[in-house]
A and B are shown apart, each in its own frame.
Chain A
Amino acid sequence: MVSNRTKDEPHRLGHDVFLDEVHSFEFWFQAVEGYLSDHPYGCSRTPVVAEPEIAESARDGLITTLCNYCVGETAALEAASSMIAFAPNRRSKIFLATQVVDEARHLEVLLHRLEQLGVADPEAEVDLRANRSLLAFKRRLLELVAARDWESAVFAQNVILETMEFTVFSAHIELADPITAEVLEGIIKDERRHMGFGENDIGRRLMDAPHIRARLATVREELDPLVLDAFEETLDQIGVPRSERPDLGRRYLSSVTRLGFDS
């Protein structure tokens, strides 16, 4: 008999019931309601925060950073949507559908933030300022998706890309103006689901089929330099002191380490 005090305790759910619950539209719907209602374009309606004064050079750096976040979000939008077709089960298909709309929302709020910063044509600006390594990462990710290689695509997108974004956005929030910080906070709340899905899915698959480890290690070898290059450039732009970077690097590497890859 479950008492009222423990009613709804998630830790009491069977694992299958838990997965059904968290990968459902209903879960997504009730979760985002908590932090997106009354937050048009990722910002709270009240109190209205005035656009902060930003020095021209800092503003330009912020625009480049946000443009590159858009590249990452577009890569995730295009990859996640195409992965639905070959996702191995209904649960994963529905979860990916929620991720697709999350990624599209991220792209939208970031483009909106660029407009607020005075960029006349944000989409054109993204093309102009895109980091080459990030574009190369996007191309490779979409190749893995086109090859319908589920494990490699989840690993590249939901583990490598999402963990990098989670780490960079968390660091950026500490240094950003209040409006940008609030937009990024909302994005991070979504990223928790995405990277958790990726790590747990790949973790389960590695246990069931250890031979895929070698294939994923190759993917990682190929993508790591691209991610780290983009990572370094963004940390420069947002002004993260060099002394803090090893710690951020460790945070980025923690998920691949948990999955048993050398860091």
Chain B
Amino acid sequence: MTDPLLEEEVGSEEPRQRFVLDETGFDEVPKKYRRFYRKWGGPTDTLAPNEVLCPVCKVVIRSTRELRVGDRVYCMPCMSRLVVAKSASGLLEAIVNYG
């Protein structure tokens, strides 16, 4: 699991795309965190490279940088810690990390 506290654009990794996050109208967490989440539009909703769906509560989690396999993200609306992985279909997905 890549801890963003320890890892900052290191080594041979391709530089990551950066994103400026705007408010999306999501209102279930304190103001300062709201832009890091948005409502999911259902199975037809296409996720951006900095987004991943929380499997626990079906909210889209967003980051200011492109997400990659192994990254750690948090879903604040349901308080879950997740790790980004690749699904069978080749898309990014989040898996709950209880440990």
On A, residues with C-beta under 8 Å from B are 5-6, 8-15, 18-19, 22-23, 26-27, 30-31, 33-35, 166, 189, 192-193, 195-197, 199-200, 203-204, 206-207, 254-255, 258
User: How distant is the Cα of A254 from the Cα of B57 in the complex, in angstroms?
Assistant: 11
B96 at interface, CB cutoff 8 A: yes
User: How distant is the Cα of A12 from the Cα of B71 in the complex, in angstroms?
Assistant: 11
B20 at interface, CB cutoff 8 A: yes
Please name all residues of chain B whose beta carbon is closer than 8 Å to the beta carbon of A31 when the two chains form the complex.
28-30
Known: A10-B33, A196-B78. A206 touches B98 (CB 8 A): yes
Contact B80 A200 (CB under 8 A): yes
User: How distant is the Cα of A40 from the Cα of B5 in the complex, in angstroms?
Assistant: 41
Please name all residues of chain B whose beta carbon is closer than 8 Å to the beta carbon of A35 when the two chains form the complex.
27-28
CB under 8 Å from chain A, chain B span 60-74: 61, 63-65, 71-74
User: How distant is the Cα of A200 from the Cα of B97 in the complex, in angstroms?
Assistant: 8
Residue of B nearest to A260 (CB): B98
Chain A CB count within 10 A is highest, among B4, B55, B98, for: B98
Known: A193-B79, A199-B56. A34 touches B72 (CB 8 A): no
Q: List 5 A-B contacts (CB under 8 A).
A: A8-B32, A14-B5, A34-B27, A193-B77, A207-B98
Contact B28 A204 (CB under 8 A): no
Residue of A nearest to B21 (CB): A5
